[in-house]
Structure 1
């Protein structure tokens, strides 16, 4: 007779095997609830569900003039002696950092901050969050110069169809892979795409920024102005960004090339791939000793464009069956069981690298040519692995750092060593693996700005670690968490890695 623990282990094996092989997709998805889980009357919540920011007031302006009026109002109150903290964000903001909140949530608020924010002289501080959700319109299009002026609250998923409608394309490599981000958020956190010593982030394509300063005055800064460089990675402390003038290109097509390699000579392979295209995104599983590289580049004029192609590197999981109870067991109750993991690990590692950059009518494709706007970024909306509570009830454990290209070979070797020595115990625990997820590697260029994570760097490389974990057990460390902790410490201390905001 099987024990309860053995039954739990068997259920996890069967459930996760179904997920990674696609068998779970046979069950029809339930319709999501209509309730807005990202906004209440006085708070807004992060996409990862780690943070819920409270505010005394959450105005939602629809224009630069309205933002200026709001800031002017609270500036006058501050001048009169009322303490005011103002932040700009939106419901479903894509961050685990507390700077997007007017006041850090109580469970993680330092005692000194709590004391500072206590009512003084009978006046409690005002915590104000300007939500940028309605700053999402196309404001002007210049078809001769191929420029678009847009609201800074526009999401990438709104920009791409607007650019297509205008007969233009975004610049290849300039956008993050996730299309659910706002343009203001991308700029403020120096978020990026990938481009070795070439265009690799939104800031490379911004010609001018319209913003509101701390007194409520409307200002515009171009690339010639010294303060312009403070917006890339400035996390919004310099002013409220409301509009962006973007340099687009004429309509273009992008060629996708997908390569799967073992990581024995990973640095050599990377150097060879960079000769094909500077725009590369890598998913790497050190515990499986292989990686998948997605290369994008301008398509040759002779290339055949495939109709109906779209980027799906972050796919929707809406059609998968409910696996949340099984994922919870995997993350919170199972021990280090070699019989279970020896069977499960090949399924998990292979499944983690099954993602395709593009799909055509629901079918994954490895090599294809399509419109640049269709292959620039993907959006899984309410059915991402980290926010679909019905399927996984999971969230992402995410960390990114920026290091120099000349350090990359050493960093790769150290990550391999961490997996070999800590996870596999020098070969004694070959059955072990991490859960669903992967390491990322992307590429950038030097930047002479002030606040961006790449400021002052020569040839930056973005290294990232993303793994799915259950949302039920936040106090539990992820399985084999110590491996990721070690990699993070090595990246910070040995390589002086700069954390992504």
Structure 2
């Protein structure tokens, strides 16, 4: 009988003995990222509904693991998590590609990538922890469970005749509050409210022994937990400071030339701290959305964020994107037409909001602050419509004073490597965009805003077809180079919920060196989780500064930056960037002949 079997038997006995009233437990199950591009496997998956149940689960598993003499790893997550890496996985069992030719050596599955020996993995999925626990209308406060999604929070706040402060949450509403909090996900607020952590007053959390704690936001525990990736404990509840009802005014700078992008950003930030810039350097254009709160008495024009996409259009785009992605020599111009249309519509041609009454795009107007902050696309999300489309997400934070130089280097790269100084002007990156958001520095120990002055969150979100997992994002090597110089040249801090494995284990540009309060985080974790049961394998590798493991196809899987041709996808070659020769990337062989 294996140690894992013994542990599971001990847990079953504890349940029969009435140790706690757990939600149903699933054994040997998987849970998959929303984009269907990362799969986690866990020996045990449980669905607690209260803080007490989370505490009981942790205490029971810790006791059983100790009796069985095995190591224990526990992660709290969401059934359809939004992450590009394996941080949501409790062990080493994960797959970068759950679908496709499983037998191909370049695409290891969750069965072929093993957890460490003598280790049992447990996942607590907080999908059922979605309740409002208390509302204080007089003080404008609300206490909620951490499994609640952003859209539900906005609805509950509105129901209580209050508003969530503008900038506190990301625009994508299908994220859980716990996930947003521990990864440091954010809205946009230059030296103003710009993240969920900015409105947290108090956190309820469970440590690595199963003990429940209640901590103020400004305490050492608060600084360790917010944007702390859950390595110090599981956040189960949060008390939020909201505000009286208000409206939000939207102003759009539509399809502007990016020739003076930095100056435009500086001017917009004088107008309002809440600025979102969508940029396409390959099109030489940007569109920016400037929002600011106004009194509830200011008449609303019915503005509401809307993320819905027509199902048929999305499925057609999926097929076109796959054909375009596979056409390395640009021999199929018809395949490129719908993709090029999507490039405009889903980037600089996009309207942030719709008019609720007419359903038309709204570029200027006013809406309820709760309705103007975030929206859910639900089953209309492009990755839920059978189109086999995922997003390549790279998300790092630099200082505002570095932004001008960063913009210049992105333009330099696009001109040299993509357009080849005018010889290949027809080339475009895939549908998606660069986006710029703004924040405030924090004293949180592991945040991507730790000790910063005026952070700028630079993110690249580009679509890729998953129909053939062996085919990388077309022109994705442009993003590979930006990924490297943003991390290394600008010493960017990494967002825990985005980025590839390789960014956290870069061989020379160590992510931990960019976190000035790292030692404080580790000191607190030593007390809250001495057994390190909450620490995932990728975090362990990052903390030890272990370099990327180089192997066949590792760049395709996002596990390394190439050093040799074999690290790239079939038909691709590892070569230096034309603009930045110190950085290598995987380009199609056909372009290098």
SS at match of 2:168: coil
Q: How far is 1:335 from its partner?
A: 2.0
Pairing 1:84–2:69 present: no
After TM superposition, the structure 1 stretch with the greater mean CA deviation from structure 2, 415-424 or 319-328, is 319-328
Shift of 1:303: 3.0
How far apart, in 1, do the equivalents of 2:391 and 2:337 lie?
A: 24
Alpha-carbon distance between aligned partners in 2 of 1:411 and 1:341, rounded to the nearest angstrom: 33
1:442 aligned residue: 437
Pairs within 5 Å for 1:111-260: 117-119=116-118, 125-260=119-254
Structure with higher RCO (Cα < 8 A, 6+ apart)? 1
Does the 8 Å CA contact 1:256/1:369 hold for their aligned counterparts?
A: yes
Aligned residues: 453
Distance 1:105 1:476 in 2: 23
Q: Residues 321, 467 of structure 1: CA spacing in aligned structure 2 closer, same or farther, 3 A cutoff?
A: closer
CA distance in 1, matches of 2:79, 2:427: 38
Question: How many Å apart are 1:302 and its aligned residue?
Answer: 5.9
Cα deviation, 1:304-347, whole Å, max 9, x if unaligned, reads: 2124x3212x3333353631333221112452349669967863
User: Measured at CA, do residues 217 and 321 of structure 1 come closer, stay the same or move farther in structure 2, by a change above 3 Å?
Assistant: closer
Name the counterpart of 1:388: 385
Q: Distance in 1 between matches of 2:154 and 2:219?
A: 28
Identify the residue that residue 376 of structure 1 maps to in structure 2.
373
In structure 2, the residue corresponding to 1:200 is in which secondary structure?
A: coil
Q: CA deviation at 1:349?
A: 3.8
Give the conservation status (yes or no) of the 8 Å contact 1:338–1:431. Answer: no
Any unmatched runs of 5+ in structure 2? 1-25, 97-107, 497-593
1:70 and 2:57 correspond = yes
SS of 1:375's partner is coil
**Partner residue in 2 for 1:100:** 88
Shift of 1:301: 5.9
Rate the CA distance shift 1:415–1:293 in 2: closer, same or farther, 3 A: same
Shift of 1:440: 0.4
Change in Cα spacing, 1:407 to 1:51, as seen in structure 2 (3 Å) is same
Q: Distance in 1 between matches of 2:452 and 2:314?
A: 46
SS at structure 1 position matched to 2:250: strand
Alignment check: 8 A CA contact 1:257 1:295 kept: yes
Q: What are structure 1's unaligned runs of at least 5 residues?
A: 1-38, 120-124
Equivalent residue number for residue 313 of structure 2: 320
1:255–1:297 Cα contact (<8 Å) kept: yes
CA–CA distance in structure 2, aligned partners of residues 485 and 195 of structure 1: 28
> Cα deviations across residues 436-456 of structure 1 (Å, max 9, x unaligned)?
111000001111121111101
Alignment partner, residue 523 of structure 2: none
For residues 137 and 252 of structure 1, the distance between their equivalents in structure 2, rounded to whole angstroms, comes to 24
Distance in 1 separating the partners of 2:474 and 2:169: 32
Structure 1's 63 and 461: CA in aligned 2 closer, same or farther, altered over 3 A?
same
Residue 371 to residue 419, structure 1, CA distance change in 2 (3 Å): same
| TM-score, length-scaled by structure 1 | 0.86
> Which stretch shows the higher mean deviation, 331-340 or 90-99?
331-340
TM-score, with structure 2 as normaliser: 0.73
The structure 1 segments of at least 4 consecutive aligned residues displaced by more than 4 Å after TM superposition are 106-110, 113-116, 337-346
Q: 1:227 to 1:364 in 2, by over 3 A?
A: same
Query: What is the rounded CA distance, in whole Å, between the counterparts of 1:157 and 1:191 in structure 2?
Result: 15
Change (3 A) 1:117 1:68: same
Give the C-alpha shift of residue 239 in structure 1: 0.7
Distance 2:398 2:134 in 1: 38
1:272 aligns with 2:272: no
User: For 1:169, what is the secondary structure of its paired residue?
Assistant: coil
Counterpart pick for 1:366 among 357, 363, 379: 363
Contact 2:324 2:332 in 1 (8 A): no
Distance (whole Å) between structure 1 residues aligned to residue 195 and residue 447 of structure 2:
11
How far apart are residue 387 of structure 1 and its match? 3.4
Does structure 2 conserve the Cα–Cα contact (< 8 Å) formed by 1:342 and 1:432?
Answer: no
Distance in 1, Cα, partners of 2:116 & 2:237: 32
Question: Do the aligned partners of residues 147 and 342 (structure 1) sit closer, same or farther apart at CA in structure 2, a change above 3 Å counting?
Answer: closer
